[in-house]
Amino acid sequence: MKIGLKKSGLGSLILAAIALVGCLKQVTRSPSQNAFKQEESPVTITLSGWQSNPNEKQLLKQVIQAFEAKNPDINVKYEVVNSEYMDVIKTRLIGDVAPDVFYLDALEAPLLMQYNVLEPLDSYITPAFNLADFESSMLNAFKHNGKLYGLPKDFSTLALIYNKKTFAAVGITQPPQTWDQLIAVSKKLTIDQNNDQKTDQYGFGLAPELARQVFVLKAFGGQLMGQNAYATFADTKSLKGLQLVIDQYRRDRTSAQPTDVGATSGSEMLGQGKVAMTIEGTWAIPYFKETFPELDFATAEVPTINGKSGTMAFTVAYVMNRKTKHKKAAWKLIAYLTGAEGMNAWAKQGLALPTRRSVLARLGYNQSPLYAPFAKGAKYATIWQAGKNLPTVRMNFNNQFISALLGEQTLPQAMKKAQDTANREIYLGN
């Protein structure tokens, strides 16, 4: 009897809980009934992205205001997600609260395209939009099974950036053209001013990350990933390229990584005068102008390795959430932001290069001495993208590459270990 009542007590509790949940459901359901109405009155669409500095946010806000002025029936809510952008976006996609339009890095695109959370854009694109104007390699980064899921807003390649004063001080007149030259001038540029056995200025500032090294491992014919989506970067061809980086750091001691000199990036090392050269992206140019206005720097194409030109390209697209309620409005926004006018306004700041060839030419980036080396790189650059397993591969590569760089193990050992671990994780994760 007692037990029976206890049970019924619990039973009533459960009933109450169910009733409560039922109420909640009803409450949540009501807004969707209004969705139909909302379509007529001004619609609000959310746009999410990250910002690398406050100016970028200001500029985008201006571009958005121009869009809103032209489309009075659309309000744009711009949200900046600054840290762990992709984790936030993925979690919001899972929870069905993702923004209608958002930035997507080429690196993360394969995963989202495969899982069908993005709206294919092909059906929206009109001839007037002039898709052919886009740099085709950047467009390809957002294609999956023949469908286009994103329109690249801008891109950046890597180029050699050097401090002109340090070059003049040791009598070098020209930036290095080949990797051998780079290693030779690095020796001249590595200086210990007060002879305390501590280098005050290194020749070359190094970024020991896969994102910056893929073109190096490809220089002798190596491949990051094989056909079957497994990593193949530990073969002898790849190692030949990477060994150049390791040798310069360990044997010559003419290069430094940021933490060696108390900096956080290659640009910061160059700006602080800790290195004479570094390989960085277009974003470094506005950064230097703002943070190190006295720095007298110039840019050149990345020196050739094994006679081959190579660099990396990073691109970010605007994509549309498949579950957005206002697809037309979302497309209008994307079309404006990646259209000739919107892109022109956006790319003026010089943080990255416009993906439309016409805009690139109009803004004169292919002529400007500082930007031309970056623009030229677009032709031969390796796009930082390699299927949905790249994050796993990158993490294992970075870990072991640093270990080889610090001399804890040889490069072949380290890369073998990284490749095996990455491939095991890929296999088990499938």
Partner 1 sequence: MSALTKDRWRNRKAGDSLAGYLFMAPTILIAGVFLILPIAYAIALAFQKVQLLGDVSYQFTGLKNFVRIAQDDRVWIALKNTASYVAIVVPIQTMLALTLALILNSQIKGRSWFRVAFFLPTVTSSAVLTLIFMWIYNSNGLLNGVLSFLHLPTYNWLGDPNVALKGIMIMNIWSTAPLFMVIYLAALQDIPETLYEAATLDGASRWEKFLHITIPFLKPVTFFVIVMGIIGTFQLFDQSYIFSAGSGGPNDSTLTIVLLIYQYAFKNLDMGYALALTLMLAAILMTSTIIQRTLFKEERLD
Contacts with partner 1 by CB under 8 A lie at 1-2, 5-6, 9-10, 13, 16-17, 84, 87, 90-91, 93-94, 111-112, 115-117, 257, 259-262, 391-392, 395, 398-400, 402-403, 406, 408, 421, 424-425, 428-429
**Smallest distance, Å, CB 124 to partner 1?**
21
CB of 16 or CB of 361, closer to partner 1: 16
What is the DSSP code string of 148-195? E-EEEEEEEEEEEEEEHHHHHHTT--S--SBHHHHHHHHHHH-B-TT-
**Smallest distance, Å, CB 355 to partner 1?**
26
Greatest CA separation for the chain: 99
The partner residues of 312 in beta bridges, in order of sequence, read 382
CB of 60 or CB of 386, closer to partner 1: 386
Best CA proximity match to 411, nearest among 206, 251, 228, 212 = 251
CB of 273 or CB of 350, closer to partner 1: 273
H/E run at residue 118 = none
Interacting residues of 421 by C-beta distance below 8 A, sequence separation 6+: 396
SS3 86: helix
The partner residues of 163 in beta bridges, in order of sequence, read 297
**Smallest distance, Å, CB 112 to partner 1?**
8
Alpha-carbon gap, residue 226 to 212, rounded angstroms: 19
**Smallest distance, Å, CB 196 to partner 1?**
10
Interacting residues of 285 by C-beta distance below 8 A, sequence separation 6+: 299, 350, 370, 371
Alpha-carbon gap, residue 390 to 400, rounded angstroms: 15
**Smallest distance, Å, CB 199 to partner 1?**
12
Q: Given phi > 0 = left and psi -120 to 50 = alpha, else beta, which region is 191? A: beta
**Smallest distance, Å, CB 68 to partner 1?**
31
Interacting residues of 388 by C-beta distance below 8 A, sequence separation 6+: 110, 111, 114, 229
**Smallest distance, Å, CB 374 to partner 1?**
25
Alpha-carbon gap, residue 412 to 400, rounded angstroms: 10
